[in-house]
Amino acid sequence: MRKILLTLISFVALSALVACGGGSSNNSISLPPAPSGGNNAGFSNASLTGNYVFVVNGITQNTNFAVAGVFTADGNGNITSGVRDTVNDAGGQTLNESISGSYNVNQDGRGQAVLNGGAGQVIYRFVLQTPFAPSPVVGKLFQDGTTSNNIIIDAVGRIEAQATPSTTVAGTYIVSLDGEDSGENIYGAVGGLTFSGGSISGTIDENDNGNFDLNGSLPATGSYSFSGNGRGTVAYVTPNSTAFTPTPQGNHNFIAYYVSPSHLDLISTDPKFFLHGYTDLQTSVSANTAAFTGSQVFSLSGYDNNGARVETGRLTLDGLGNLTNAIEDYDTTSNFFSGVSLAGSSYTVGANGRWIANLVNAAAASTTGLVGWQVSPGQSAVLTTNTNVLEIGTMRTQTLGLTNASVTGNYAEAFSGSSSTLQSNLELTGNLLADGAGNLSGTYDSQTDTSGLTLDAGTSGNYTVDPTLGRSTSGNINGLPVVIYTVNADTIYFISAQQGNVYQGMMVSQQP
């Protein structure tokens, strides 16, 4: 069984100390104290009021697992009702399980949720970005801990404010999926699926264990339905392709959770094809190379031939098919590559917003191809296409011309990955206050396999914002040197600059 890479997936967070979570039903751990101290960012229990979708993926010592569900928070610390679905890559499934529980939200947005169900108790630590935004992003979470039977749990995920559920879903959705094929080989997929009247049609790009068919996407057809609480099903079929060994399973079945008209979360119920991910409604596209222009930042995570790998970079699409001022930083289990030039890279775009990029990276690694699907010209789901690297992630429009003074106020932080040096996984959520002059201070909660939990830990650091390309090597966050990429004043990506620490993170401005 492969161990998943616990890296940033999108920003909404839980962290979990788990009594059951991914494996065993009768384990329990001591309830840790609720988060305390830290910066006063204006949050309280009232910040979590209404219905929230949560999704988690992680590992135990024996399986990879994923959880999705929805709960109702009353604004006073009580989780009054909810359901959750848990699946793992050994074929285990606990579906449509009723849950209830409690929660606490600290003044800096860090919190703790306790969810109880028939299969056991799970304790999540999280940090909120904003409680009432129409965006699906609310906070970042991790699920961690060791059960009384010494089953180690590592996981990351997100909490998302749920709009009033609808049984009517329509439009073209860009899907992003991560997980394993039926042989427990690494797998990733991106594509465009059109939902209409209960039927699905579209195309999917799949990278199965480094096998990708660059000649085009696989056609997909299927169906979907949703119930009143926003829990539903999504199924689609793709033809078996001779490009993949072993050939992918043609049928894919998911539990889907309605977050908003523009966002759905997914976990698969195929016992031996373990997938989790999400879909975003495609709002508009730049339908040709000339129209797809401007500065972009990308963040990817996955594996190469040697193990875990993460990378963050930026580029400018010039409208002529060239990627200019293109540079990236990436970590593998054995090396950290800093400031790798991607000079000579190119791209093409199709009418449906699907684009292909050829990243020339000869100085430090083999050429890496990317396929992306535009949610909008400013946001894409991205998958690697070459045989040596399988990564999945996002690309977003970058705002240039920012300075240190542009980054000020409270930020929610998510940081995770794996360390080949320590032989452990790390999950961390926290609050950081940026002073506009390059200094950070805050509090975080974290867990590693080797040292266990660190809760309510004070931290300080520093940052530098480069106005020209938005990339800076002058940063220290959580005691680690990092390379910083500014997406905009509200969103900052960073990547570990230490060899052996395959870590990625992000900061998102808090808006209580």
- Show the domains of the chain with their CATH numbers: 14-161 (2.40.128), 171-281 (2.40.128)
pLDDT of 457 reads 96
Cα separation, 17 vs 272, in Å, equals 27
Cα separation, 402 vs 156, in Å, equals 30
DSSP string for residues in 304-362:
ETTEEEEEEEEEEEESSSBEEEEEEEEEESS-EEEEEE-TT-EEEE-TTSEEEEEE--T
pLDDT of 26 reads 38
| Local structure of residue 459 (DSSP, 8 states) | E
pLDDT of 240 reads 65
Cα separation, 407 vs 510, in Å, equals 12
**How many other CB atoms are found less than 10 A from the CB of residue 353?**
22
pLDDT tens-digit profile, the chain (512 residues): 344 444 444 343 444 554 443 433 334 457 888 999 999 999 999 999 999 999 988 887 788 889 999 999 999 999 999 999 999 988 999 999 999 999 999 999 999 998 999 888 888 889 998 754 433 334 444 444 444 444 567 788 888 889 999 989 999 999 999 999 888 888 999 999 999 999 999 999 998 887 886 666 889 999 999 998 899 999 999 876 555 444 455 789 999 999 999 999 999 999 878 999 999 999 999 999 999 999 999 999 998 888 889 999 999 999 999 999 999 999 988 889 999 999 999 999 999 999 999 988 755 555 578 999 999 999 999 999 887 788 999 999 999 999 999 999 999 999 888 887 777 888 889 999 999 999 999 999 988 877 778 899 999 999 999 999 999 999 999 999 999 999 999 999 999 999 889 999 999 999 86
Alpha-carbon Rg for the chain in angstroms: 21
Let me know how long the chain is. Answer: 512
Q: Which amino acid is at 340?
A: V
pLDDT of 3 reads 45
For 404, the token pair is 């240190």
- How many degrees, rounded to 5, is the angle at CA 327 between CA 326 and CA 328? 135
pLDDT of 374 reads 98
Cα separation, 137 vs 124, in Å, equals 17
Examine residue 261 and say whether the peptide bond preceding it is cis (omega within 30 degrees of 0).
no
pTM above 0.85, yes or no: yes
pLDDT of 453 reads 81
pLDDT of 364 reads 57
Residue recorded with tokens 């980054």: 407
**Are 189 and 177 contacting, i.e. CB atoms less than 8 angstroms apart?**
yes
Residue recorded with tokens 């449509």: 96
Give me the residues paired with residue 426 across strands.
417, 448
